[in-house]
């Protein structure tokens, strides 16, 4: 394995690696720290004076930065009211003025400053950065979020083409800059037939990036690449631009989107139907193969009859599914239609590592159900669909994408997984008649014409597509219910699922992917959706289905087209509205293309990133921090009053069994060029073919996923979209692992040279967050083997649920404001798991304290900071959640994101942590120390 090189990134290098032996002039401070000869009296005098001046300078830099912050013009347009019930609200308006006078705050450091002051360049820079981030004019017991990061808020702004910008985005930008620098250094002379695996990988990397950057060529090619895919749908389902005359139209959507959004808006009762059948109320056994089959719960779903058009709908769905979930970061939409298939670990099976098939409800072009009830958004979405259909209808059959390319891509899925395939048994087990049900054509409508102008026809058609999509969305359940495995884990024999869907021939659909193992069972996350979707599809004519499929395809791949292409422009118009971005704002193309690199050749780019920005010492240190947090959690478990001994011992066993992974995977081996070349061997990258590169990459990954069905997952891997440079981390319940890519072990989350209180306050909080996920409202349902089972006693489960619901109720009192100032409340049930995990900060704090007891050395003290170590621990925690956000983006995230808004991730956690209130001496009744009757819960 090649040794990672020190970072060459100018901004982060001092905090990442303090050993810079290759510098020509290492400076006076280095001479003091590493003298090659005894210092003269003059040098000692000058050195002492320099140190004093350095301390004074660093202090005044911080004070000056605070004053500068106070005089800055109004903040970037990030301000939204953050509040809760009972007057516990904190306002950060879009126009905030700071007092220039020095304010005496209630929280002051305690004890004498340590004599162990660190005077290295790294420590001085770090201290100055902390001083620059804070807003000392704010009382930390009143608004700790503003106190900790007010300076950062004032000195940063949201990029024009983004809806959010915070610490995570800042680190992502730094990481992307490292990757971009590596790509730019790749010689142009490299070819695809390079002599070494490393050179071949780098050629692919540069080709993907350069092809994406060439927007002039993309705009010149126009819509043609997408038409090559859309033509398949039109040939299979039929044209969508031949619609009945108004008097012949059987679909009436005249009563559509009459809903409005107000501050007391609630999801209509018919959209949040309480499931009365046994779904979600039963407990499952890990050995489910021998369990009696569960009923489908809806009699209508038991004997649905296939129609004459089932084969062509099946063919269209197979085609779309093979194009997978679009890899593009914008708009992060999928090409799924009608149904959504996924392959994941089978948590309730005999071996959770074995990959099983899941069938779920579909999602649409709007982020959540609420948007489908808001007339302004629906009007916009209708016009976007109309624009897409007009663009495609105007160019239909003008594609220059060779049909042999489509055929080749279609064949790839089979080639990827047929090597050891045993084929599909027929008839399917449990299907005695081979699914020879009667055929009854329920297709309404008849022929059509082009008598009306195209604009008018597509306007009417777009309304029908939106009507159809809105019905499908309404038929699904809410995301917080799907996150509960005991609600969403409903397994059935595959033949029975096939009988429950009128429009899909499931055996034919699955055989088109040729999985090597026969899926005897399928997990249906919300069974009622199957019958509802069948009724909706059966009542919808072909031309509407065709338009719907084409629209889903277009939204999924629009970002792979040139920015000036009509379909891409329509998508961007929708994104701008949903994120609150100024109309017509041009995206940062380099940023877009680096994201494409991450999703197509992420692990090759990851190798270049690791070489520059991640050391072996950082990997080992990160692992040690994680292990210490696991130990602190295990030490805590026997002392939790609401948990009995049996459950506590089981929880300790699970915590000890969790596998931490730090940095990068070993499959593919990120530091081995030959391993990377093998991983991407089937992916053909062509110069100047950005759309084709994205499409082929998507299909390669889709083929790889389907090939895993029925096989045990290789634990050397990371999640496929989690290469080393990504700023993220995750916990996987069936796999029993917590994963931390190298990208998140960067400032302000981590630096190897930092004092322990900053490491644990920032990265330690992330590590504890992922560990605590194993014991949140979802993770707590999986045992030490990753199996969905009853491994706690009933009394412990009841006590846990009571406390978890306290947190859910608490976070449901928090809100953001939309662009009109209307409150939009957090859904505490949706965010419950993430909120519980955020409270894992207590384990990071305990682990840090334990680390102090385990060493005899004095803690490192940063110069010029009038804070205790405990206070700096909490400042480091708050810093990672600093962020600016546009109101529209804030609303979108509240509705869809299982994470609470950043303000509440910091504030909500600390308000319930006694160590914080003690560190800053907050009095009961202060906003950061509310009375127990107001906002206090306790869990781990």
Tokens matching residue 27 = 């400076």
Of the candidates 118, 133, 123, the residue with the CA atom closest to the CA atom of residue 15: 123
Annotation marks residue 220 as catalytic: no
Residues 6+ apart with CB under 8 A from 912: 839, 935, 936, 937, 938
Q: How far apart are CA 711 and CA 735, in angstroms?
A: 14
Give yes or no for a contact between 212 and 690, defined as CB atoms under 8 angstroms apart. yes
Q: CA distances (Å), 705 to each of 184, 515, 516, 733, in order?
A: 32, 10, 12, 19
Tokens matching residue 140 = 């930390």
- Give kind and range of the element (H or E) at residue 443: none
Angle among Cα 503, 508, 513 to the nearest 5 degrees reads 120
HSE of 119 in the Cβ direction (CA atoms, 13 Å)?
Answer: 20
Helix axes 121-133, 869-879, angle to 10 degrees: 70
- Give kind and range of the element (H or E) at residue 356: strand 355-361
DSSP state of 283: -
Please return the burial class of 125, using the count of CB atoms within 10 Å of its CB with bins 0-12, 13-18 and 19+: middle
**What is the 3-state secondary structure of 137-164?**
CCCCCCCHHHHHHHHHHHHCCCCCCCCE
DSSP code string of 661-689: EEE--BTTBTT-HHHHHHHTTT----TT-
State the Cα torsion 98-99-104-109 to the nearest 10°. Answer: 30
The region, left, alpha or beta by phi > 0 then psi within -120 to 50, assigned to residue 925 is: left
Q: Could you identify the residue written with the tokens 């791949």?
A: 557
Q: Could you identify the residue written with the tokens 């799907």?
A: 482
DSSP state of 188: T
Catalytic residue, chosen from 146, 838, 870, 935, is: 838
Catalytic residue, chosen from 199, 373, 598, 770, is: 770
Beta bridge partners of 736: none
Task: Compute the chain's Rg from CA coordinates.
Answer: 29
Backbone angles phi, psi at 368, to 5 degrees: -155, 170
Q: How far apart are CA 726 and CA 717, in angstroms?
A: 15
Annotation marks residue 838 as catalytic: yes
The region, left, alpha or beta by phi > 0 then psi within -120 to 50, assigned to residue 293 is: beta
Of the candidates 319, 315, 335, the residue with the CA atom closest to the CA atom of residue 412: 319
Give yes or no for a contact between 669 and 675, defined as CB atoms under 8 angstroms apart. yes
Please return the burial class of 580, using the count of CB atoms within 10 Å of its CB with bins 0-12, 13-18 and 19+: buried
CA 590 to chain centre: 21
Neighbours of 142 (CB within 10 A): 16
Beta bridge partners of 861: 117
Q: Are strands 659-663 and 164-166 parallel, antiparallel or unpaired?
A: unpaired
Q: Could you identify the residue written with the tokens 């891997």?
A: 717
DSSP code string of 802-837: HHHHHHHHHHTT-EEE-TTS-EEE--TTTSHHHHHH
Q: Could you identify the residue written with the tokens 């080749």?
A: 408
Residues 6+ apart with CB under 8 A from 355: 343, 344, 345, 346, 708, 709, 710, 711, 712, 713
Q: How far apart are CA 444 and CA 774, in angstroms?
A: 50
The set of catalytic residues is 770, 838
């Amino acid at each position: 394995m090649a040794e990672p090189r020190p970072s060459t990134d100018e901004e982060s290098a001092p905090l990442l690696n303090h050993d810079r032996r290759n510098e020509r002039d290492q400076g006076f401070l280095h001479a003091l720290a590493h003298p090659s000869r005894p210092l003269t009296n003059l040098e000692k005098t000058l050195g002492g004076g320099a140190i004093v001046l350095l301390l004074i300078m660093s202090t005044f830099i911080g004070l000056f930065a605070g004053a500068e912050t106070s005089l800055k013009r109004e903040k970037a347009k990030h301000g939204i009211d953050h509040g809760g019930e009972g007057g516990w609200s904190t306002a950060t308006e879009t126009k905030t003025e700071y007092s220039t006078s020095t304010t005496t705050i209630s929280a002051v450091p305690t004890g004498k400053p340590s004599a162990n002051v660190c005077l290295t360049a790294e420590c001085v820079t770090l201290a100055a950065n902390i001083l620059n981030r804070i807003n000392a004019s704010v009382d930390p017991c009143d608004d700790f979020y503003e106190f900790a990061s007010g300076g950062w808020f004032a000195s940063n702004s949201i990029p024009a083409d983004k809806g959010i910008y915070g610490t995570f985005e800042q680190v992502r930008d730094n990481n992307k800059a490292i990757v971009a620098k590596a790509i730019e250094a790749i010689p142009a002379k490299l070819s695809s037939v390079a002599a070494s695996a490393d050179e071949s990988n780098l050629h692919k990397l540069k080709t993907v990036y350069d092809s994406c950057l060439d927007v002039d060529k993309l705009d010149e090619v126009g819509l043609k690449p997408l038409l090559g895919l859309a033509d398949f749908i039109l040939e299979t389902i039929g044209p969508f631009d031949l619609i009945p005359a108004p008097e012949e139209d059987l679909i009436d959507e005249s009563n559509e989107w009459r809903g409005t959004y107000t501050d007391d808006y609630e999801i209509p009762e018919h959209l949040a139907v309480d499931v009365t059948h046994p779904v979600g109320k039963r407990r499952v056994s890990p050995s489910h193969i021998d369990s009696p089959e569960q009923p489908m719960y809806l009699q209508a779903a038991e004997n649905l009859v296939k129609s004459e058009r089932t084969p062509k709908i099946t063919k269209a769905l197979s085609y779309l599914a093979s194009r997978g979930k679009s890899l593009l970061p914008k708009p992060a939409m999928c090409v799924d239609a009608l149904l959504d298939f996924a392959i994941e670990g089978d948590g309730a099976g005999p071996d959770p590592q074995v990959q099983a098939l899941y069938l779920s409800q579909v999602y649409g072009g709007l982020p959540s159900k609420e948007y489908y009830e808001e007339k302004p958004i629906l009007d916009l979405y209708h016009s976007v669909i109309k624009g897409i259909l007009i663009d495609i209808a105007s160019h239909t059959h003008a594609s220059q994408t060779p049909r042999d390319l489509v055929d080749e891509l279609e064949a790839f899925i089979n080639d990827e997984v047929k090597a050891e395939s045993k084929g599909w048994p027929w008839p399917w087990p449990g299907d005695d008649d081979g699914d020879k049900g009667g055929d009854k054509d329920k297709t309404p409508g008849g022929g059509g014409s082009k008598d009306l102008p195209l604009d008018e026809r597509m306007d009417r058609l777009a309304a029908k597509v939106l009507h159809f999509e809105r019905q499908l969305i309404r038929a699904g359940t809410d995301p917080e219910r799907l996150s509960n495995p005991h609600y969403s884990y409903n397994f059935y024999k595959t033949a029975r699922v096939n009988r429950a869907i009128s429009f899909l021939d499931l055996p034919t659909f699955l055989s088109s992917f040729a999985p090597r193992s026969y899926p005897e069972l399928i997990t249906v996350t919300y069974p009622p959706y199957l019958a509802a979707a069948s009724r909706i599809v059966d009542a919808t004519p072909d031309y509407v289905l065709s338009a719907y499929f084409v629209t889903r395809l277009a939204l999924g791949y629009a970002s792979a087209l040139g920015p000036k292409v009509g379909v891409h422009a329509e998508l961007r118009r929708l994104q701008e509205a949903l994120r609150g971005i100024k109309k017509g704002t041009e995206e940062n193309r380099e940023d877009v293309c680096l994201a494409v690199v991450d999703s197509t050749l992420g692990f090759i780019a990851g190798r270049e990133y690791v070489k520059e920005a991640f050391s072996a010492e950082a990997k080992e240190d990160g692992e040690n921090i994680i292990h210490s947090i696991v130990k602190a959690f295990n030490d805590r478990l026997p002392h939790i009053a609401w948990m009995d001994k049996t459950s506590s011992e089981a929880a300790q066993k699970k915590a000890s069994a969790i596998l931490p992974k730090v940095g990068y995977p070993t499959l593919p081996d990120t530091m081995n060029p030959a391993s990377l070349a093998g991983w991407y061997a089937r992916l053909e990258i062509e110069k100047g073919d950005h759309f084709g590169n994205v499409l082929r990459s998507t299909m390669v990954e889709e083929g790889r996923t389907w090939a895993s069905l029925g096989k045990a997952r290789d634990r050397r891997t990371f999640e496929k979209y989690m290469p080393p440079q990504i700023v993220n981390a995750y916990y996987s319940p069936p796999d029993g692992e917590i994963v931390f890519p190298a990208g998140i072990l960067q400032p302000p989350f981590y630096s190897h040279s930092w004092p322990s209180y900053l490491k644990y306050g920032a990265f330690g909080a992330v590590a504890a967050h992922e560990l605590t996920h194993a014991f949140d409202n979802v993770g707590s349902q999986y045992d030490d083997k990753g199996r969905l089972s009853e491994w706690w006693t009933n009394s412990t489960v009841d006590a846990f649920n009571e406390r978890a619901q306290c947190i859910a109720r608490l976070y449901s009192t928090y809100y953001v404001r939309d662009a009109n100032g209307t409150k939009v409340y957090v859904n505490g049930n949706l965010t419950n798991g993430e909120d519980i995990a955020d409270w894992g900060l207590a384990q990071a704090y305990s682990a840090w304290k334990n680390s102090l007891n385990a060493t005899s050395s004095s803690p490192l003290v940063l110069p010029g900071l009038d804070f205790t170590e405990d206070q700096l621990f909490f400042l480091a925690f708050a810093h990672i959640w600093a962020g600016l956000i546009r109101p529209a983006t804030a609303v979108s995230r509240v509705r869809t994101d299982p994470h609470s808004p950043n303000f509440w991730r910091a504030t909500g956690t600390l308000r319930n942590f006694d160590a914080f209130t003690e560190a800053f001496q907050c009095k009961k009744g202060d906003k950061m120390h509310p009375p127990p009757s107001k906002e206090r819960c306790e869990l781990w």
